Structure 1
Amino acid sequence: MIQNTHETKCTFTTFFDKYNTRDYQVLFMGSLNCLRHKPFAKIGRIMQNGQGALLCPSMSDFSTGRYLNQIKEAILELYEERHYTKYLLVVGCQWMILSSDGTFLIQELKEEYGITLEIVDDNHIEKEDRKEH
């Protein structure tokens, strides 16, 4: 069972290999530049199955913090449209650079809407850092 009270430390690819994701709606959140990275190629296949969506905030959205509200709005819109109650938010480098904390978002969605959110941090900056050490 996936813990839904914190961010998971596995990568996006590992998550899909490890867990049954048929019950999940996947929301990738990152800049358009992130789409060129290999792990996110899987997003296209997931979107073809009706289980995935993209949220690409602008740099001003990231710098002002609007992206956090945009995540919530996107999840609620997907919930109304597709009726999933479990969501996987795949985040990239911006999440790490801005030191984002998804705890409040996870709690708010669970308490107010009954929606489970799991956050998977799959940024390449930390991966490159791990390779050097």
Structure 2
Amino acid sequence: MQPRDTERYGEGASRDCVVQAPARPEAPPEQTLAPTSGGYPQTVAGLREFLAGCTLRSEEKEVAAILLGRPQLTYAQVAAELDDTPSPSTVCRRWQRFKNAAYAEGFEIPPVVLLPLDAVTAREEQLVSV
């Protein structure tokens, strides 16, 4: 096996390889969504403002407030925090009603909070009807 002729790769090339770091990618442009039909900004703060003024029942507002503040919670964890201790599927239905109202207002994902996959079991998901 013969050694490679390094001169082919450029004038005065040596066996040392110089690797140039790739250019830093520019930060993606911040996504700006149009305000909702009621003028709410497409942010979590806008969702909270919408929540305060919407016509949902207090139980639904309570679930939405908890999940907007701590989206990592599962429906079972939220149920344990509520005074009426509903089933996780009831918490899911209450959250779905809020999400449906937010979508109807014009909110998009984001900022409508995506919940973790373990927030509801497959069986509970089948029970959800809004």
Same fold (TM over 0.5): no
TM-score bracket for this pair, using the shorter chain length? 0.3 to 0.5
Structure 1 or 2: larger helix share? 1
Instruction: Give the TM-score normalised by the residue count of structure 2.
Output: 0.33
Q: Which has the higher contact order (CA 8 A, sep 6+)?
A: 1
Q: For the pair shown, which has the larger CA radius of gyration, 1 or 2? A: 2
Report the TM-score when normalising by structure 1. Answer: 0.33
